[in-house]
Homo-oligomer: A and B are copies of this chain.
Amino acid sequence: MRKIKCIISYDGTNFSGYQIQPKKRTIQGKIENALQKIHKGTPIRVHASGRTDTGVHAIGQTIHFETEFDLSAYNWRKALNTLLPDDIYVKEVEEVSNTFHARYDVVEKEYHYYIWNEKEFDVFKRNYAYQFPYPLDVQAMQKACSYFEGTHDFTTFSSAKATVMGSKVRNLFEASCKQNGKEIEFIFRGSGFLYNMVRIMVGTLLDVGQGKLDPETIPELLEKKDRRMVGETVPSQGLYLWQVKYE
């Protein structure tokens, strides 16, 4: 058996998220379907670095699968891109060692979140950013971002619905916020992320940007370990899984 690693990009707009579900249009479903065609009907399981929710996009999601087929990286890429719909694209293919695992071997994940900060609705942004009409204090949000960096228990900033057992301690290497005209870009890099963590952090940062919350309260909120302490989860269409790093 050979193990194939792929870096893929997708426009999450018309998918019910990454994970395969009966009768739903999912990214995993489309990829497994393409692989099954290549393997003349044999089902092939695909493993990703993690799931993404409905509407969330990916610039560099990473997956792997096992195969008995001996194709070059070039031919895997070509065969998959021919069979996949035009909202999924395989950017890179590489044969990897049999010990590699797209989920368990992750050392860093990077997410970006985009706000379109403009009063007027823009039809072209509706699926690709969160359109936020009120003025935002970017400097205050930058300050607040810095308190997220480092190793913390992120219980306050994870979905109360999350059923994950074990530690909610995560290490954020970067949390930053930058304005480019009407666009505000948030970048988060870390060893791992809890369910909805980026979207809840951005929701809280928007409270800071509107002056509803002081940047200095972030450490206290982290200490409370209570999801009810912070604001809303921002919508999925502003979120991009940017890249996944391995050893």
- Residue numbers of A with Cβ under 8 A of B are 9-11, 57, 81, 86-89, 91, 120-124, 126, 128
Contact = CB atoms under 8 A, between A and B. Distances in A.
Each complex incorporates copies of this chain amounting to: 2
Contact of A11 (B10, B86, B123): B123
A172 to B, nearest CB: 26
* Chain A, interface SS category: loop
Contact of A120 (B91, B120, B122, B128): B91
A11 B121 contact: no
Contact of A123 (B88, B120, B124): B88
B128 A124 contact: yes
Contact of A57 (B10, B88, B124): B124
A227 B88 CA distance: 37
Given A81-B121, A121-B81, A126 B91 contact: no
A120 B124 CA distance: 22
Contacts of A9: 122-123
Contacts of A10: 123
A81 B89 CA distance: 34
Contacts of A81: 121
A23 to B, nearest CB: 21
A87 B57 contact: no
A7 to B, nearest CB: 12
